[in-house]
Structure 1
């Protein structure tokens, strides 16, 4: 009996294509991870979202940043500035045609 495995990146792309709410959930998750102090995971989620939606070449045009720089920023060892993160989030948000609804929840 053979085992069928799917490429993770292809699975994300297919899910985003058929379920726009999934793309928005990934963007929300990336923002939440950044704000919760988990930038490494947030960058990886953003990277997958870019690959599944706008692509790095189009993101480069939208952010006016070189594609290679964007790849480095969203790599496991990337260290994007706040300005660059804001530009990336804004470009993806506009591409997906979604808005952010930011809520602050007080911790107990």
Structure 2
């Protein structure tokens, strides 16, 4: 008997079952990006796109090729700000969440 599950399927099922989980993933991706860790942000976004929008729907919504989106959100991806804004916007819209930025002083 197999005791493990595929990570992507686990994330997808949890995102569907728990919209707050999907919103938290989007928040983590944005936070990682803003805190200077774009690689982590891309990987979280990739998992979230797979779990929510799907790359084909994201391609249609952002007017960008699906293969390009896959490359952008890979570990070695290098999306420009316009592409990142389009991806964040499409996922945010699909999840029905809004972003709020708050500055905090670093200790």
Same topology, TM > 0.5: yes
CA-based RMSD of the aligned residues comes to 0.9
Partner of 2:57: 58
How many pairs were matched up? 107
CA distance in 1, matches of 2:88, 2:30: 8
What TM-score does the superposition give when structure 1 sets the normalisation length?
0.96
Deviation at 1:3, TM superposition (A): 5.6
TM-score by length of 2: 0.97
Structure 2 equivalent of residue 100 of structure 1: 99
Q: Distance in 2 between matches of 1:34 and 1:80?
A: 12
User: What residue ranges of structure 1 are gaps of 5+ in the alignment?
Assistant: none
- 1:8 aligned partner: 7
Matches of 1:84 and 1:7, distance apart in 2? 28
Structure 2: stretches of 5+ with no match in the other structure: none
The CA deviation at 1:102 is 1.1
